[in-house]
Structure formats: C-alpha cells, structure tokens
Structure 1
Amino acid sequence: MTTPTTTTAIAALRPGAVDAPDSFATVQLDLAPLGAHDLLVDVRAVSVNPVDGKVRASFDAAEGPKVLGFDASGVVTAVGGAVTRFAVGDEVYYAGSIARPGTNAELHLVDERVVGPKPRSLDHAEAAALPLTTITAWETLFDRLGLAADSTGTILVVGGAGGVGSMIAQLARARTQLTVVATGARPESVEWATSMGAHHVVDHHDLVAAVREVAPDGVDHVFSAFSEGNVEAYAELLRVHGAVVAIDDPVGLDLMPLKSKAQTWHWEFMFARPLHLPEDAYQHDLLVEVSRLVDAGRLRTTATTRLQGITEDTLREAHRLIEAGSVVGKVVLTRD
C-alpha cells in the first residue's frame, strides 16, 4: 500500500487571538518523508493544553500555516524502516515534539521513541488526555526531584486542579510514599484535586498560612505551575535543601530567597528530550509504564470535556475554554 503524502489539518495561518479569523483554518499539507524511526498515525483524538494557546498566539508568522496540537491517540498506518516497537494497526498515544507539525491533523508523523501503546482500558479520547501532562509530571517527580517508591515527605502542588497537577498527585500516590498538598480555591477544583489523590487541598491566596495549617513543619518539594510572586512563599515553606520544579514562564524571576536554606530551583520542559536527545527512548518507556498503571486501575484519565470532531469550530471552542481558565480536567476532541 502506498504511504500518503498529504494530510488535511487545522492550522493557524497567522499568530493571533482565539477569535481571529486566521487562527484556525482547514489546510491540505504535504507530509514529510517517513523517517527511519517514524510512525504515520491515523489520529483519532487529541487534547488541548495551555501550550497550544501560547504557540497559536505567538509563533513566527513566517512559519505559517502552523499546525498546533501535541497530545494524540490513534492507529499506526505505516512505519519507518528502523521501527522496532510498533507495527501497522497498533493503537498508540503520545505528546510528540514541538519541533514537528502538530497533531490537529488526520495523519501525523511521530518518532516511535516518544510514543507508547495506548492503554487498553481507555478509548482514544481518554488516552489523548494523558501524554503531555503525564510525561511532565513523571519527569518532575522522578527526574528533576529524583524520587523513588520509598520516598517520603511532603510535596506542595501549586495548580492542583490543572492538567499536570492532577498527574503529579496521581503519580505521587501510585509510585511514592509522599503526602500531597494541592492548591485549589473553587469548590470544583477542591473536589477534583481530592479525587486525583491529594491528601489536603488548600487555598492559594494566603499560601504560607494555608499550607502551615496542614503541614506545620513545611514541605520537602514544590511543583509550581504559577511561580510569579510565589518565590518567597516557597522559600519559607520549603525545608533546608528543598526543591522547586516549575513549568511556567515567569519573567524576571528573583530566586535569591532560596539561597538561605540552600534550596534548588529546577525547570521542567517535556520537549527537552525530543528536541535535544532524539535517540533517547525514555518517554516511550515511561508511557509503557503509564499504560500498565492505567490498565491496572492505579492511574485514571483526566478527560472531562469532550468535543466531537477535530475542526476549526471545535478547536476554537477548546482554545476558548482553556484560555478562560475555568476548565477542570482536560478538553479532548475526537474525530468524526
């Protein structure tokens, strides 16, 4: 069978606001030649993350049309000559690479080394909610913080009802002995963070006082989705030699408050491996383990909002929902 050379995709023609007419357009694009380790995936579902909106609003116009989307679940339709982990017909899920065209397309090329077998117990929409946030959470806990099955102590999850925060709590409960303190202000956020495994959920508006109520001796680790204005609070709450892992993009961050107790600040960026270590199969291996944990009932999908069809209209609606900041869980879109 001949491998397709083009695909229909939804792309941003120019950077702009969510309701700008050129932010979402149906285009026909050439597919790059199948690389040695590439899979060609028939995309069945995608999810939308905050990074999608950031890229849509600020990409270089010279790169247009820009196909957005990272998370995907689908079926392998062709494989490169060096592929050993998958075969045509396999169901897969992944977050891909920021250096390649996105997943908001009928067909998508992705390196097998950042792809996992879709959990058998989930449908494609449920699976598409997981990869980007789960990889980020996994690397936070087990790479940046170096935690293991016997690790104890307390982790503060700032942004506990967010996509990554939800997976931090789940993975910490499934694979460590940590106590999880999450932030969440709205009743629905508190309920969600608790359902994800947080032992305690506190209001972030007076972070130090709220955390001290449930962890009077402070915390050992902080995951930060919202760092601006919080460094001094983190320094006060963290014990000596504690560590922060941040995923946001604060401008002009002053980290000097961490020096007194020799605390450490880490950045987590899940695209670092695909960008700079393309031969590393670490993300494949972790997605294999995540599939196993999901099928064993120890992790659950974070999909909460489903939109039918991967179209200009549904993607625009998904981006609106994400940018409004009121969504609990993940927004997923499924192919008609």
Structure 2
Amino acid sequence: QFFSSSANLFNAFRTGAIDLAYQNLAVDQIRTLQEGATAQKWQAIAKAGSGIDYITINLKSPPLDKLEVRQAIAAMMDRPLLEERVFRGQIEPLYSLIPATLNMKDPVFQAYGDGNATKARELLTQAGYSETNPLKVEFWYRSNVVNDQWAALTLKALIKKRLGNLMQLDLKSIESTTAYKNLDKGVYPMFLLDWTPDFLDADNYIQPFMECSKGSVKTGCEAGSSFLQGSFYYSDRANQLIDQSRKELNPDIRKQIFKELQALLGQDVPFIPLWQSKDYLFAQKWIQGASLQITQKVPFWTLQK
C-alpha cells in the first residue's frame, strides 16, 4: 500500500492497520515509533542506509563560480549539528559522495571542518567579501520534504550566528517534481537534494555527479551527469578517471582511482556531501522474520505472521 503522506503511513501503522512501515517517515514519527518499540508495542529494525543527501552547486551561477566561495560554504556546513538538532541521531555525517559503508570512501570534506567560521572567513576575505560587502547566495530546498526545510533553516541560523552578515543564505523552496524538471536549466544556485544508488558500488556515487559527456572548462558541462544535476561541473581529469574506473578489474588500482576522484571533489567543490541516511523498518509484534538489507530492500520471503 502507498500512502499520500508520512502522517497517513504513521497513523496506519500505529493503529495496526498495516503490518510493516518503511521509508519516508518524518524525524519525529520515527522517534515516536522507536519509543513504542522500546515499550514493546512493535518492532524497530535500523540499518545504515545507502542513500545520501548533498548540496549541488551551480558553477555557472555567480558568485558560486569562485572556488573560494564554494570552499567557504563547505567549511560552514555543520554535519554533527544537523545530526543532533534536526535528525536526533537518525543520520550519519557524510564527508564524501561515497558513503562510509563502502570501502572506496575517502572523507575529503573533513579537511574543511564542520561550521568552521575561521576557515570560511579567511576564504571569503580572499574572495573580496567583508561585512560591508557580504556574500549573498540563494539556497533552495524541496518544499514537500520537511527534513530538508529544517536542515536549511538550521544551517542558515548557524551561519548567521558564527559569521554575522559576512555570509547570507536566502532560503527558497519549491515542490520536488518541479525542481527536478528545472535542475539542468541552471535556475538554482544551490540545491539540497538526495540520491539513492541503482547499485552498491562507488561508481554509482561518482559517475552520476561528476561525469560530463560534452563541455569544456570554459563553457562548463553541456551534457551529461553534472549537467543533469544542475552543477555543470567539467573536468577532463574526472572524465578520464571515471572511464578508467569502469574498465579496471584490479580492486586496489580501482580504489586509488576513486581516491583521486574524491580528491577532485574536495578540491573543486561542485557538490557538498552532508549526510548518509539510516533506514528504519517498523513491524508489528505478530510479524516474524522482518529485516533490512544494505540494498534498502525488505526481503518479503522471510516474513511470517
């Protein structure tokens, strides 16, 4: 059964109308269901998920075409704060597009720190910004995703508290269906999005973001993955490495290729990884064999009433 809102799914499970509840529940709803599981009203199964949330940055949209600006924004992202204040421990901080569950990951964004106002101020000063000439940038999120709204509001408040007027986020929202249709049109300077892989390999966290099939350093990406993401990132080296990784059979060599790709990601900042999801499956007491796979699949063949 599919439900039109997380509230309907939540209520249907709590009243026993359905046997299992999975995905798209809000933070408070998950916390309430976890408390119910602790009180032995039902079962709760949690596992590190394969989905990630990140910011896509439009490199064609001034002032985000300046590297120092993108790096300063990366330095101000405070993942532990989001984990604690917004998600109440229901996510894991993410420092690369490749999640921590894969051995190819290299947490390159740890170099920027979390909410690192000192580094951000230094970078913005280099880029010519000051309290009297502040950085102003639009930050878009999906209006129908409650968690994204809270994350955006939290980051804006954090930046205001630690940088004063030096960096100013102008929050804007739009319904997700409309957003996805317009990403490749370049209308959004920064957008908070999520990604679920088609298969569990490092390639599926890098190629759909950094690959560009047509473009140049001067024009940016004109066709390909980064174009569709609304980033328009172009790198000859990234394209070469992605192509090489898809032909390489030696896992050790392949790991080095992805290490270099992640180094490019951290250096050029076309995307900013924020958090890795945790998956939660809730099952009624009369259900046996409920479990979650790392692929985010629920194996139905193990279930019994």
* The structure with more helix, counted as a fraction of residues: 2
TM score, norm. by length of structure 2: 0.33
* The structure with more strand, counted as a fraction of residues: 1
State the structure with bigger RCO (CA 8 A, min sep 6), 1 or 2: 2
